Chains A and B, each alone.
Chain A
Amino acid sequence: MSYKIPMGPYHPGLEEPYKLDMICEGETVQDAKLHVGFNFRGIEHLAEGRNYIQVIALMERVCGICSNIHTLTLCQAMEGLTGLTPPPRAKYIRVVMAELERLHSHVLWAGIAAKLMGFKTMFMTCFELREKVMDVLQAISGNRVNYSMNRIGGVNRDIDDPLALLGMIELLEKEMVRKVIPIFTTSSTARLRCAGVGVLTHEKAISCGVVGPVARASGVPQDIRRAAPYAAYDEMEFDVPVQPDGDVRARLLVRALEIMESCKILRQALTKMPSGEINTGEGKFNFITGTATSRVEAPRGEVMYSVSWKEGSRTPARVHVRTPTFATMPAIRWMVMGARLADTPLIQASIDPCYSCTDR
């Protein structure tokens, strides 16, 4: 006999509200349906009533984890409509902010995954590490969540002493190599909870159009930083970690390796940061009529903004956001099919979902 088990919209295993209706035979999930929309704030509609300064502050609030990425993508699109090019130093600062955000997002996710595995001490270790990254973000921007760093034509704040941040990078790398990666990869608890669980096959990953670490953990070597470089990524050397297995363990490994790659990128960006201006100044600019698009590799995968403007207008005609979780989340259905019911909280968490981003 099959029966339906709802998980959510409010559930201890979910970081934000959404609902997973699972059809089970015994302890095995046969099928699942996803329901989102609990965080719908109508942000795209609100954007049509905001001027070019206000809209940046608004879109920063699409997501509480990757807020910087949203303003970066939006500003890049708006730079396409104004013809402004950020100075080289601004591009490097954008890389530093984006990679610090990736670090704190991935370490946060590792902590949450550890908690869902029953690894409470690992959860605390990860959050302690994340706190150090947050301290650096605060030192640079003055803020811990909405950094207000990006503007049309560059960034708002400089990094006065880039080399002073290298110590944090070293510390984080050491902690990852000494503690986090060995425990996640060699502990039998982590292996038993993650290996072969919540598999998304390579074929299904392509057909669902999933992005970011979820795609890379299913053997799809896709990364916008490499495929269509933006900011100063074309001057950075880094690898794109790819794992073939498509299970929770593969997603965990991809993110762990990406933390190391982020450290590598940060070290390059901080040591090679050119001197000069951080934005194009207060000079006047006009928006041209038309639409511009920008894509950025957020911690969860590709974000795309399409921004449309009418000449002479102070407000955008349309701002459309395609967030990574919007692309990745439908694949949860395929990950939980055939899984044990007890594994579903960890499986859904393994895509590092952001429902606020998804709903906007």
Chain B
Amino acid sequence: MSLLDTIPETLGINEPWTETGGVHWLPTGGLNVRELAKAMNALNARFITITAYQLPGAEGLRLEYHWDLDGQLLGFSYTLAGSSIESIYDICEAVDWIEREIHEGFAVDFLGREYEPLLLRQGDKLGVNLREEAK
């Protein structure tokens, strides 16, 4: 059994990995993003990035978290009903700038962290770059 195969059981997820678009995806179900980050740290997986997508209509936003485990790209998708999700900055230092960028580009609030001055532009309005209703 490979290390990858042990992850669903470690995370308490009963579904297997699916590979699409060059990424191994695991359904997150009710898995808290902070629990996920702790599990990835325990596996010595390397955080890569978070990709934010605005879903059509009022479906909200989707955040895709990516880690690298021995060259394999892992993906975990979270759909946000509102505009907030817990920050993992205190668990995974590498997320600092991407959380700030998504906060600025999509007006997503990463709860439990402080924001420094804007990363990508000066101003006082969030979400102006990539959020649909602000275009």
A residues bordering B, Cβ < 8 Å? Answer: 33, 35-37, 40, 42, 44-45, 77, 80-81, 206-209, 222, 224, 226-228, 290-295, 302, 304, 306, 308, 317-318, 320, 322, 326-327, 329-330, 359
Question: Is chain A's interface secondary structure helix, strand, loop, or mixed overall?
Answer: mixed
Distance in Å from the Cβ of A288 to the closest Cβ of chain B? 9
- B94 CB-CB contact with A under 8 Å: yes
From A37, A295, A327, contact of B94 by CB (8 A): A327
On whether the beta carbons of B46 and A304 are closer than 8 Å, the reply is no
- Report the separation of the CA atoms of residues A42 and B134 in the bound assembly, to the nearest whole angstrom: 14
- Report the separation of the CA atoms of residues A322 and B96 in the bound assembly, to the nearest whole angstrom: 13
- B57 CB-CB contact with A under 8 Å: no
On whether the beta carbons of A208 and B93 are closer than 8 Å, the reply is yes
On whether the beta carbons of B130 and A44 are closer than 8 Å, the reply is yes
- B118 CB-CB contact with A under 8 Å: yes
From B21, B48, B97, contact of A292 by CB (8 A): B21
Q: Which residues of A contact B66 (CB under 8 A)?
A: 293, 304
- Report the separation of the CA atoms of residues A83 and B93 in the bound assembly, to the nearest whole angstrom: 36
On whether the beta carbons of B21 and A227 are closer than 8 Å, the reply is no
- Report the separation of the CA atoms of residues A93 and B46 in the bound assembly, to the nearest whole angstrom: 30
A-B pair count, CB < 8 Å, reads 85
Q: A33-B116, A37-B122, A304-B66 are in contact. Are A318 and B53 (CB under 8 A)?
A: yes
On whether the beta carbons of A45 and B130 are closer than 8 Å, the reply is yes
Q: Which residues of B contact A207 (CB under 8 A)?
A: 93-94
Q: Which residues of A contact B92 (CB under 8 A)?
A: 209
- B119 CB-CB contact with A under 8 Å: yes
- Could you give 28 example pairs across A and B, Cβ below 8 Å? A44-B105, A45-B130, A77-B21, A77-B22, A207-B93, A208-B93, A209-B93, A209-B94, A222-B46, A227-B71, A228-B71, A228-B73, A292-B21, A293-B73, A295-B22, A304-B66, A306-B51, A320-B51, A320-B52, A322-B48, A322-B49, A322-B98, A326-B97, A327-B48, A327-B49, A327-B94, A330-B97, A359-B120
Distance in Å from the Cβ of B56 to the closest Cβ of chain A? 9
Distance in Å from the Cβ of A73 to the closest Cβ of chain B? 11
Q: A209-B94, A322-B48, A327-B94 are in contact. Are A40 and B121 (CB under 8 A)?
A: yes
- B30 CB-CB contact with A under 8 Å: no
Q: Which residues of A contact B71 (CB under 8 A)?
A: 224, 226-228
Interface size on B, residues (CB 8 A): 37
- B129 CB-CB contact with A under 8 Å: yes
| Per-residue A-contact encoding for B86-114, CB less than 8 Å = 1, 0 else | 00000011101110000001000000000
- Report the separation of the CA atoms of residues A272 and B70 in the bound assembly, to the nearest whole angstrom: 29
Q: Which residues of B contact A308 (CB under 8 A)?
A: 53
Q: Which residues of A contact B117 (CB under 8 A)?
A: 35
- Report the separation of the CA atoms of residues A290 and B20 in the bound assembly, to the nearest whole angstrom: 9
Given contacts A37-B118, A40-B121, A224-B71, 20 further A-B contacts (CB under 8 A): A35-B117, A37-B119, A44-B105, A45-B130, A80-B22, A206-B46, A208-B94, A209-B46, A209-B93, A209-B94, A290-B20, A293-B66, A295-B73, A302-B48, A304-B48, A320-B49, A326-B97, A326-B98, A330-B96, A359-B120
B 13-68 contacts with A by CB, 8 A: 20-23, 44, 46-49, 51-53, 64, 66, 68
Distance in Å from the Cβ of A322 to the closest Cβ of chain B? 4
- Report the separation of the CA atoms of residues A317 and B52 in the bound assembly, to the nearest whole angstrom: 12
- B84 CB-CB contact with A under 8 Å: no
Q: Which residues of A contact B83 (CB under 8 A)?
A: none
Q: A227-B71, A228-B73, A294-B22 are in contact. Are A36 and B51 (CB under 8 A)?
A: no
- Report the separation of the CA atoms of residues A290 and B77 in the bound assembly, to the nearest whole angstrom: 13
From A206, A226, A228, A293, contact of B21 by CB (8 A): A293
Distance in Å from the Cβ of A170 to the closest Cβ of chain B? 32
